[in-house]
Structure 1
Amino acid sequence: MDLNSLNIDTPLDLINQATQTGLIGSLGIEITKTGTGTVEGCMQLSEKNCRPDGILHGGANLAFAESLAGLGSMLMVDFENYDVLGIQVNGSHTSSLRKGKAYAVANILHPGNQTHIWNVDVRNEEGRLISTVRVTNMIVKRNDKY
């Protein structure tokens, strides 16, 4: 299975299998739930996504959020005819994470024809907010120059 065949009804095990060979797999991200306008996932802390002092790396945290929002947009479009391109990621880190897993919920705020805007909240296992991230994806017709 490849990412081009994803849709909202794609089973989670197939989504996770298709995403494990790239950055998503390297960071330890697992997709745990998909629905119309929402994607949830978790990321186990490891040396691959932490700073040398063991704290979750802010860049890995942003990549986690952008991955969920990007997948959400991919699940919402006709992926045979349109590409999803991340064009802006803006995050505010409110606390740090030193152990366990990070959990994130991505919710679409604007499901437009040309742009999707997502809010992604990343929390620790107890539910404390770690980061809140805004992701904007551009929806472009395949073969358009971009």
Structure 2
Amino acid sequence: MDKIKTLKFFNDWCKNTLMETLSIEFIDVGEDFLTAKMPVDSRVHQPMGLLHGGASVALAESVGSSATMLFLDPEKFEVRGIEISANHLKSKRAGTVFATAKIIHKGRSLHLWEIRIVDEQDQLISLCKLTNMVLPKRKVND
């Protein structure tokens, strides 16, 4: 795997999407994991000035769904997140959070991921679990 090419693919893929809106950037990749970072500022705060749980879940699903693509040919397959759960364990007001998706189960049609969201000191902020469905790519008319 060409790490630089793979990260460029994922970052380019996110143009004009929620991931770009949230400034999510893919920063590391391996054979069975993908990592992205997201700044924590007013764009992702809830009214009390803390990282919004929904922003954390958006980060987790973005990383986990993208990670499934590590195992697929994007010309032939698509990914749909079908279930996500999140436990928010620590609050965060500013800085950066890092989400790493690691595969738990890789079936032909279902992938199960654990996504750990940590801060700059590697303290666990949220622990998420995502199930993705792998589908054959359809033509636009289908």
What's the TM-score, normalizing by structure 1? Answer: 0.87
Aligned residue pairs, count: 138
Secondary structure at the counterpart of residue 122 of structure 2? coil
Secondary structure at the counterpart of residue 113 of structure 2? strand
In structure 2, what is the Cα distance between the partners aligned to 1:12 and 1:143?
Answer: 25
Alpha-carbon displacement from aligned partner over 1:76-115 (angstroms, at most 9, x marks no partner): 1122111111000001011111110011111011111010
Following superposition, the deviation at residue 12 of structure 1 comes to: 2.0
Q: Is the 8 A contact 2:41 2:93 kept in 1?
A: no
Counterpart amino acid of 2:29? T
Following superposition, the deviation at residue 16 of structure 1 comes to: 1.5
Counterpart amino acid of 2:51? L
Residue 79, structure 1, aligned to residue 74, structure 2? yes
In structure 1, what is the Cα distance between the partners aligned to 2:10 and 2:74?
Answer: 14
Partner of 2:19: 24
Counterpart amino acid of 2:41? S
Identical aligned residues as a percent: 33
CA change 1:16–1:142 in 2 (3 A) is: closer
In structure 2, what is the Cα distance between the partners aligned to 1:37 and 1:69?
Answer: 11
Structure 1: 4+ residue segments shifted above 4 A: none
Matches within 5 A, 1:23-62: 23-62=18-57
In structure 1, what is the Cα distance between the partners aligned to 2:114 and 2:6?
Answer: 23
Partner of 2:7: 12
In structure 2, what is the Cα distance between the partners aligned to 1:61 and 1:131?
Answer: 7
Counterpart amino acid of 2:89? T
CA change 1:11–1:83 in 2 (3 A) is: closer
What's the TM-score, normalizing by structure 2? Answer: 0.90
The RMSD of aligned alpha carbons is 1.7
CA change 1:48–1:19 in 2 (3 A) is: same
In structure 1, what is the Cα distance between the partners aligned to 2:73 and 2:15?
Answer: 22
Matches within 5 A, 1:104-143: 104-143=99-138
Which consecutive residues of structure 1, in runs of 5 or more, have no partner in the other structure?
1-7
Alpha-carbon displacement from aligned partner over 1:107-137 (angstroms, at most 9, x marks no partner): 0111110100000000111111100000000
